[in-house]
Amino acid sequence: MRYPGHISLIQALKQSGFFSEEPLNIGGTSIKPLDFTSKILFDEWRFASDEKDFTVLKIILQGKRNGSNETVKFYLLDRYDETTDISSMSRTTGYTCTATANLLAKGLFTEKGVFPPERVGNYEDCYNFVLQYLEERGLTIKKEAAV
> 13-63: per-residue pLDDT in tens?
999 999 999 999 999 999 999 999 999 988 887 878 788 999 999 989 899
Lowest-confidence range among 46-50, 86-90, 103-107, 128-132?
A: 46-50
**Residues 34 and 59 reside in one and the same domain:** no
**Residues 73 and 142 reside in one and the same domain:** yes
**Residues 69 and 119 reside in one and the same domain:** yes
Residue 1 lies in a domain: no
CB-side exposure of 79: number of CA atoms within 13 Å?
Answer: 4
Residue 30 lies in a domain: yes
Using H for helix, E for strand and C for coil, what is the string for the chain?
Answer: CCCCCHHHHHHHHHHCCCCCCCCEEECCEEECHHHHHHHHHHHHHCCCCCCCCEEEEEEEEEEEECCEEEEEEEEEEEECECCCCECHHHHHHHHHHHHHHHHHHCCCCCCCCCCCHHHHCCCHHHHHHHHHHHHHCCCCCEEEEEC
Reported pTM: 0.69
**Can you give the residue range of the structural domain that contains 13?**
6-45
Q: Which residues of 23-34 are buried (b: 16+ CB within 10 A; e: fewer)?
A: eeeeeeeeeebe
> 88-102: per-residue pLDDT in tens?
999 999 999 999 999
Residue 68 lies in a domain: yes
